[in-house]
A and B are shown apart, each in its own frame.
Chain A
């Protein structure tokens, strides 16, 4: 038989495919690198002027500040310097904090990873579970209830949901006292390395994480439900049943894997939007992560920080997409040879 040949052929095809994806990813990253520079230069406002606003700083001094930011040079020269430094791993010095951007980002990255990571995992698991259950028992009380809730959550702006939860569980309404802090990541003065510190962070994490989880699980549940419903009408399921498979196996081995494809795509595509959600929710809950950092940086505008954060965000999304591409062959055999 030609299995060996086919397999080796498949392998090279896969290699070529992966190689292509990686090249694409690197090109995207290069594009982002270039685009970032010009994107933020279009922002209104002169950082030197804004940083000295409302104070008697002589014009020469403002000019000196501008020079020290490297803003006095012609744009092409600024751009060349930016590319050179970025490739060297030097993201520059923040205009606002006057510290290396990499330090500022390093300090802020973990809160965001914690918040986004946990809420992405939770919303995926819970969303898929609700979607599968709803579709499988279409029309049941659970299905109708979860559908209504999902639609409501899906339609809700994140910041509004965040503020509602903040008022309800942060401050308390009526007899309900404020159970959780209204913002921040820890109580000032708590030792973060102790058990009490960890619990303190968990308590602060609860509301923002709940908001993001609720905001995203709805979409996953809805997509999972509808794609599973599509699959349930397919002939191959009838065949599977006719073979005598139990319902559970029909669902797990046949229907769900196929229905997962669009959902997986969505989850990975969504990572970009999750980042924007982070900016909103971190602002609502004063969560000291990268979202809040970019919000602050936009006010100045602090070009080096904005460039650094967006480069990181873009890289994260690009990597996620590459991962999705690599994962796809395992989920969908058709892609393996395609």
Chain B
């Protein structure tokens, strides 16, 4: 008797009900793919890009993430763009420009016949409005303040002419990365309202794509601007789909739910190289990694802060360490070969500005020479513990070395470095911490060395500014706050060159100064630049072809300075109309199986029930 399963009628009925409801739900869900497949609009050509970080605010004065800038690049035009070939200034809304002999007055001729997406004409007055709003605004300055800091006045002398007068000559006037906004829309949004303005409904722009819909945490959808002045995109719709997880993004690409993914790691990238229908591209990129030193932390006023190791204030020690880092080994073993060994802070894809040390002056990997240099400088191991001491025989050369928790590259690089440094008699305490925390540690000067990197813009001004005396931490309200400098390098000669390059308009002369600055940095070694890493991108080549790299050849296919690829891509053969994936027979089979199982289950229950009833009677 015990052990046979029986239950009361009402209990059984209820359970039966539950089973039925569950089954019904399963069937409904399993059936959904079929319904969804039927719902697919047939003719629209949609290009879907996976992003691993949601865009923040589509308001051009508020958003700040790289993903958001990519969306704006599609929605808005600037005065001057960056060429696809080599980032040199090219006409965008400004068809041509002229600078006065004193280098202070710039006259831009605006393209005629350009229309906003609501049909209104775009004129020089819109451009003047945009710049004036930034110059007079406060919120507006957060994103674009550095572009207008040198500008005195901006006026539209007529619908086609924009005149800007600057305080000092500046090459930045051809690098004004400011989206031109329609005055007739933005004049109604006050300086207060702009702080929380979403710019999601009926956003008006002049770019090759028009914002259609944004769903936070999910996607941004844009449609092609069929009357774009530089030619209509060949795709109909552009979707950025948010993944908060790189694995899921990779799987979605393999499945064909998205057409493009970037920021891939070497292992998945290699697996994609052999996947049919997918083309994987290791593109030259504008980022570098470095081993940075605390060369003597101080505030912008010169007041010392932090507790950096005194040995690292000695440039001979830093140069010795520069010879103890095997850059090629890092490229091969940490990056899986996807990168190049590096020396200067301007990556090699900016050909005109890039500095490379000549033969004989490079700090090539050579542990023997590194040891010798440290011996000569007086840092010897006097107590036989295999760690060198300061020349006065006191403090050992034991450095705190920080790596970033978020980055495998950082952690692996640091492990290699630790081994090489041990070989030259330098001990390291490796600490892996979050980037947020490391930013604070650095800002307070409480470190000796760390591994991090930068992404460098086509204009070198920003990158070079991070090594100026004025970029060191500053005091505000009693607390020390981090600024851009993370090595606390301060060299008046360098600062002088920095000023000079910022007022030199002639590209060749400026490039020479920029190279001299890099040479200075290289010799003073606040950083040991380790490598320029590749950007690993992949796309569905069975669905789209015609991507154009920037720079050409070898550069990135998307996330460029411009919208070149978005406007060029089309299906590999225009004839192949239908997309991949879609409904197969399997969902039907599954539904069938569920229904059969459900029926069998129900039958079983009913039979049992009658059996118990029989037994009872």
Binding site for B on A (CB under 8 A): 43-46, 49-59, 61-65, 68, 72, 93, 96-100, 104, 107-108, 122, 125, 129, 133, 136-137, 140, 163, 166-167, 170-172, 176-190, 195-196, 199-200, 202-203, 205-206, 246-249, 251-252, 282-286, 288-289, 292-293, 295-296, 301
Which one, A61, A183, A199, contacts B141 given CB within 8 A? A61
* B218 lies within 8 A of chain A by Cβ: yes
In the complex, the answer to whether A179 meets B586 with C-beta atoms within 8 Å is yes
Which one, B28, B64, B139, B218, contacts A199 given CB within 8 A? B28
Q: Can you show 25 pairs from A to B with CB atoms below 8 A apart? A: A44-B439, A46-B439, A50-B439, A61-B142, A63-B476, A68-B195, A93-B195, A97-B56, A166-B247, A166-B251, A176-B586, A178-B255, A179-B33, A182-B248, A182-B251, A184-B242, A189-B239, A190-B39, A196-B39, A203-B36, A247-B4, A284-B248, A288-B215, A288-B242, A296-B244
Chain B residues with Cβ below 8 Å from A196 are 35-36, 38-39
In the complex, the answer to whether B461 meets A188 with C-beta atoms within 8 Å is no
Q: Nearest Cβ in chain A — how far from B296, in angstroms? A: 20
| A-contacting residues, B559-590, CB 8 Å | 581, 584, 586-587, 590
Q: Nearest Cβ in chain A — how far from B488, in angstroms? A: 15
Chain A residues with Cβ below 8 Å from B195 are 68, 93, 98
Known: A140-B3, A196-B36, A202-B32. 12 other contacts (CB 8 A): A44-B437, A46-B439, A52-B142, A54-B454, A56-B484, A59-B481, A65-B142, A99-B198, A122-B22, A189-B237, A195-B35, A248-B6
Binding site for A on B (CB under 8 A): 1-8, 11, 15, 18, 22, 28-33, 35-36, 38-39, 41, 46, 48, 54, 56-57, 59, 62, 64, 138-139, 141-143, 145-146, 149, 195-196, 198, 213, 215-219, 221, 237, 239, 241-245, 247-248, 251-252, 254-255, 257, 434, 436-437, 439-440, 443, 454-455, 461-462, 465, 474, 476-477, 481-484, 581, 584, 586-587, 590, 616
Chain A residues with Cβ below 8 Å from B439 are 44-46, 49-50, 53
In the complex, the answer to whether A136 meets B5 with C-beta atoms within 8 Å is yes
Chain B residues with Cβ below 8 Å from A252 are 7-8, 11
| Complex CA distance for A206 and B254, rounded to whole angstroms | 20
Q: Nearest Cβ in chain A — how far from B156, in angstroms? A: 27
Chain B residues with Cβ below 8 Å from A50 are 436, 439
In the complex, the answer to whether A184 meets B584 with C-beta atoms within 8 Å is no
Chain B residues with Cβ below 8 Å from A100 are 196
List the A residue with the shortest CB-CB distance to B212: A189
Chain A residues with Cβ below 8 Å from B32 are 199-200, 202-203
- Among all A-B residue pairs, the 5 with the closest Cβ atoms: A45-B436, A288-B217, A44-B437, A248-B7, A203-B32
List the B residue with the shortest CB-CB distance to A187: B36
In the complex, the answer to whether B252 meets A182 with C-beta atoms within 8 Å is yes
| Complex CA distance for A140 and B238, rounded to whole angstroms | 56
Chain B residues with Cβ below 8 Å from A167 are 251
In the complex, the answer to whether A137 meets B5 with C-beta atoms within 8 Å is yes
In the complex, the answer to whether A125 meets B18 with C-beta atoms within 8 Å is yes
In the complex, the answer to whether B436 meets A44 with C-beta atoms within 8 Å is yes
Which one, B3, B142, B247, B440, contacts A137 given CB within 8 A? B3
In the complex, the answer to whether B218 meets A184 with C-beta atoms within 8 Å is yes
In the complex, the answer to whether A46 meets B243 with C-beta atoms within 8 Å is no
Known contacts A182-B257, A189-B41, A202-B32: does B149 contact A58 (CB below 8 Å)?
A: yes
| Complex CA distance for A181 and B581, rounded to whole angstroms | 11
| Complex CA distance for A248 and B12, rounded to whole angstroms | 10
Q: Nearest Cβ in chain B — how far from A115, in angstroms? A: 13
Known contacts A177-B584, A179-B33, A202-B32: does B142 contact A98 (CB below 8 Å)?
A: no
List the B residue with the shortest CB-CB distance to A196: B39
In the complex, the answer to whether A183 meets B440 with C-beta atoms within 8 Å is no
Chain B residues with Cβ below 8 Å from A251 are 7
Chain A residues with Cβ below 8 Å from B462 are 55-56
Known contacts A54-B455, A99-B198: does B216 contact A288 (CB below 8 Å)?
A: yes
In the complex, the answer to whether B8 meets A203 with C-beta atoms within 8 Å is no
In the complex, the answer to whether B244 meets A104 with C-beta atoms within 8 Å is no
Most buried by B among A122, A183, A206: A183
Chain A residues with Cβ below 8 Å from B443 are 49
